[in-house]
């Protein structure tokens, strides 16, 4: 019964003849969340819908690139986490400050704290989700360190035994992927790697972990 009523809300608002805008998105999302709260339905689902819709109405940038909000699965007032266009391992994601900051030393104290707390929270959840046993967290701070996108970001990678023959090889792999990232992130260019749909599906799964 609840699912049928939810479907009615979605269908009614999907075919409403108005332009899809941030205000429309907000209206649609609040209706769904309000329905689940008032109907006694799962509050976790209501929270997930509200969080997901809020992120979809926001804008995110990564250096000079615009990031599709559907690729972002967790955010705070100061940081956000997004899926990776070319992950090295399952669960390889990026955590960045919302403000475009080129170097780690240029982050404020609040941004630094929030960035690492976000990486800690995201990493612990993805380690469990992927049944991993360890985490690699890495920052390439500046071009000589391998940074190619001029925006501070932490690579978060759940790790399992044997995923790399030699453990330090992962840093060479991160360096190679960083160079590829700069070439592939522009949303105006044709994607040759994972599709937006694939990345959205992954982000949706991860978003549910933080509901």
The two structure tokens encoding residue 188:
């105006």
The last residue of one of the domains, among 31, 56, 81, is 56
Q: Are 64 and 52 in the same domain?
A: no
Which phi and psi angles does 102 have, rounded to 5°?
-75, -40
Catalytic residue (one of 92, 130, 151, 153): 153
Q: State pTM to two decimals.
A: 0.69
Q: Are 114 and 28 in the same domain?
A: no
Q: Are 109 and 157 in the same domain?
A: yes
Give CA–CA dist 94/89, Å, rounded: 12
Q: Are 72 and 32 in the same domain?
A: no
Number of domains in the chain: 2
The last residue of one of the domains, among 11, 32, 56, is 56
Q: Are 43 and 87 in the same domain?
A: no
Q: Is the pLDDT of residue 4 over 80?
A: no
134 within 8 A of 156, measured Cβ to Cβ: no
Q: Are 112 and 203 in the same domain?
A: yes
Instruction: Mark whether 153 is an active-site residue.
Output: yes
Q: Are 179 and 75 in the same domain?
A: yes
Note the pLDDT of residue 190: 43
Give CA–CA dist 182/14, Å, rounded: 36
Q: Are 42 and 106 in the same domain?
A: no
Q: Is the pLDDT of residue 59 over 80?
A: yes
| Residue 139, beta-bridge partner list | 154
Q: Are 177 and 193 in the same domain?
A: yes
Q: Are 98 and 183 in the same domain?
A: yes
Q: Which of the residue ranges 40-44, 48-52, 163-167, 176-180 has the most confident prediction, judged by mean pLDDT?
A: 163-167
The last residue of one of the domains, among 32, 56, 80, is 56
> Residue 121 belongs to a domain with what CATH number?
3.30.428.10
pLDDT in tens, 96-153: 999 999 999 999 999 999 999 999 999 999 999 999 999 999 999 999 999 999 999 9
3-state secondary structure of 92: coil
Q: Are 36 and 116 in the same domain?
A: no
Q: Are 80 and 180 in the same domain?
A: yes
Note the pLDDT of residue 173: 82
- Domain range holding 146? 60-208
Q: In sequence order, what are the residues at sequence separation of 6 or more whose Cβ sits closer than 8 angstroms to the Cβ of residue 36?
A: 2, 6, 42, 43, 45, 46, 49
Note the pLDDT of residue 53: 64
- CB count within 10 Å of CB 174 equals 18
Binding residues for substrate: 84, 140, 146-149, 155
Q: In sequence order, what are the residues at sequence separation of 6 or more whose Cβ sits closer than 8 angstroms to the Cβ of residue 22?
A: 57
Q: Is the pLDDT of residue 77 over 60?
A: yes
The two structure tokens encoding residue 87:
């992950």
Give CA–CA dist 23/197, Å, rounded: 24
Give the whole-number percent of the chain exceeding pLDDT 70: 65
């Amino acid at each position: 019964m609840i699912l049928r009523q939810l479907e009615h809300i979605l269908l009614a608002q999907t075919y409403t003849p108005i332009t899809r805008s941030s205000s429309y998105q907000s209206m649609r999302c609040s209706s769904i969340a309000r329905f689940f709260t008032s109907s006694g339905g799962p509050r976790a689902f209501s929270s997930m819908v509200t969080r997901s819709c809020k992120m979809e109405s926001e804008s995110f940038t990564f250096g000079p690139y615009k990031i599709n909000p559907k690729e972002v699965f967790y955010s705070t007032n100061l940081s956000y986490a997004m899926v990776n266009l070319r992950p090295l391992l399952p669960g390889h994601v990026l955590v960045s400050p919302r403000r475009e900051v080129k170097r780690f030393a240029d982050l404020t104290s609040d941004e630094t704290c929030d960035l690492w707390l976000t990486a800690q929270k995201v990493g612990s959840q993805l380690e469990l989700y992927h049944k991993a046993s360890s985490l690699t967290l890495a920052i390439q701070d500046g071009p000589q360190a391998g940074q190619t996108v001029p925006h501070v970001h932490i690579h978060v990678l759940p790790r399992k035994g044997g995923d790399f023959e030699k453990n330090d090889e992962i840093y060479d792999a991160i360096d190679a992927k960083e160079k590829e990232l700069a070439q592939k992130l522009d949303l105006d260019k044709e994607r040759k790697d994972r599709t937006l749909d694939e990345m959205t599906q992954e982000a949706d799964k991860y978003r549910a972990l933080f509901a």
